[in-house]
Amino acid sequence: MWRPRVSVRVDGTRGRLWAAAVARRVSRLELRQRVGLQITLDSLALVVGLAAAQAGRFDFSVGALHDVGFWVVVLLAVCVLHFVGTALHLYLGRYRFGGFDEVLGLLLSVSLTVVGLEVALLAFGHPRPLPLSVPPLGGTVTLTVMFGARYLYRLAEEQLARPSAETGTDGADPAAGSGALDAAEAEAAALLGRRPIGVDAGAIAGYVTGRRVLVTGAGGAVGSALCRALRAYHPAELVMLDRDESALRALALALRGRADLPGDGLASEGLAGDDAGPDETVVLCDIRDVDMVAALFARYRPEVVFHTAALTHLPLLERFPGESVKTNVWGTLSVLEAAATHGVARLLNLSTLSATDAVGVLGYSKRITERLTAHVAREHGVAYVSARFGEVLGAGASALTVLARQLAAGGPLTVPDQDAVRHFLAVDDAVTLLLQAGAVGSGGDVLVLDMGKPIRLADIARRLAARADPAVGVVYAGLGAGEKLYEAPFGIGETDDRPHHPLISEVPVPPLDPGLAVELDPWADDEKIRAALRELGRGDDLTAITAGLTRIPRQATGPGSASPHRRHQAD
């Protein structure tokens, strides 16, 4: 069913466009080059501050700057600032430029530099190369210049990240559903109601604007909506990855309004990719292919990764548990390891409420990905987090999709149990919270998104059945394998702590050694696979080794590729 799409346009002057172009060019620099640029700017601020203080001390006489001793002290001050800033991690690329933590670090660095200069001048004796009043005054001017530059940068960021929506029909929504699905979503939305979600556009722009961003699973309902939302924040490059060629093509058509996908010459290297514009790239890739994922990270050098690719159809995963190992566990591990290897600063792994006190294959596999993400984050000291939420309206694996198809087929509508409830989230709200979660999460945590009150599936089914003509019945089929009556946001021992955002809880996760995950055997007996997944997901690593894990190497997923299993054994 075709429907108008809300296209995103960013208002702005020529100056804003120029600033965006500069940000894109800066983002294409390597991390060391960007840090070098930051050091240079801060050093210049210190030179300007001390020079202004020295000239002001002598009634703004230029002759006061001709003393060689003064410039020796300035050089010493720059070296001290560099040393102190590095010790405080200011020049290691760990802080957001202009963020609160960086500002505190700058204040401390400049203060320590001023104290060091004062001590050096007192020890120097007479005549001193500059008066004792110059370092404090120069430090004040330096901080003013530093803070002013960062304020202007943040102001430009805010302006660039302020989208204005206008209705358009420049493409079809790849996640657009049938009329029955629209009806199901409407009923769920009516039961959900609307609530305001506070958005810190500056915080989101701080880690997206001018950065190279990769979205895996970009063809899915959440992935495609995420790609559309990210465009409004002006990333330097947006790489959209999926293994579903039809979904990728639909996404590219929706974003570009064009059907052609010019090749970029990667086919000969085994990488099928397309440039969807000067700053957008569509990549056909299966995350189960370790070598291909590593090559893509090496080629595109993403700085921010949203990992949404996963198998999420619960009944199918219960029937084929080995596939959850290959995609959800090993695929996620390949993305995590490639990200850590190639210096990705921020990664968000999408999880699900099924991972909370999991009882089925889907939940076990997603809980393992949460633990793997925590391990890589702590091992490498990076801001890799997982985001846990319920069902998204319009997603293919959603219970609403099942009800919609049954309604379109004339019924009956089946629900697991009269008391079965689920948390639902509109796709736009899910994307907004995901983007916000990427800005507030600390390394290794699981961010639980507030989805509001849960909805009884039977209520939605009855409201849909009342719409049908002729009327259809509602059947209670019973809970299937891996299903729960209620999917709680928090597991046993987890607490609802919201230190940074009123709708985002932060939960610590016990890490999982990847060496155990890669020894899972997806070709073993189904019950052994389930047992191994269950034990790893629950955290009993020792039991998992004896519950169905194997140490027999398996063949790679593609010709000449190395599986995660074999790579870890080589290590």
Mean pLDDT taken over the chain: 77
d(CA 138, CA 45): 10
In sequence order, which residues have a C-beta less than 8 Å from that of residue 556 and are 6 or more positions away?
290, 291, 562, 563, 566
Beta-carbon count within 10 A of 288 CB:
22
How much is the pLDDT for 483?
81
pTM of the predicted protein model? 0.65
d(CA 247, CA 270): 20
How much is the pLDDT for 195?
54
d(CA 140, CA 200): 30
d(CA 335, CA 290): 8
d(CA 34, CA 28): 9
How much is the pLDDT for 322?
94
d(CA 547, CA 105): 49
Low-confidence ranges of the chain (pLDDT < 50): 1-14, 27-30, 161-178, 262-278, 540-571
Beta-carbon count within 10 A of 528 CB:
16
Which residue stretches of 326-452 are H helix?
Answer: 332-341, 361-380, 399-408, 427-440
d(CA 235, CA 213): 7
d(CA 139, CA 31): 27
How much is the pLDDT for 165?
37
How much is the pLDDT for 171?
38
How much is the pLDDT for 306?
96
**CA dist 6 to 121, 185, 231, 298, Å?**
63, 18, 13, 34
Beta-carbon count within 10 A of 435 CB:
24
How much is the pLDDT for 176?
39
Which residue stretches of 125-178 are H helix?
Answer: 134-160
In sequence order, which residues have a C-beta less than 8 Å from that of residue 119 and are 6 or more positions away?
none
Task: Give the residue carrying structure tokens 């087929």.
Answer: 409
How much is the pLDDT for 350?
94
Quick one: DSSP state of residue 502? Answer: T
Q: What ranges make up the beta strands (E) of 235-362?
A: 237-242, 272-275, 280-284, 304-307, 346-352
Using alpha carbons, select from 461, 440, 462, 457 the residue that is nearest to residue 449: 440
Summarize pLDDT for 386-445 with one digit per residue, the tens.
999 888 776 666 677 777 777 777 778 888 888 888 888 888 888 888 898 888 877 788
273 DSSP β-pair partners: 283
Summarize pLDDT for 509-559 with one digit per residue, the tens.
999 999 999 999 999 999 999 999 998 987 644 344 444 443 333 334 443
SS3 content of the chain, % helix, strand, coil (to 5): 50, 15, 35
d(CA 348, CA 438): 6
CB 76 within 8 A of CB 86: no
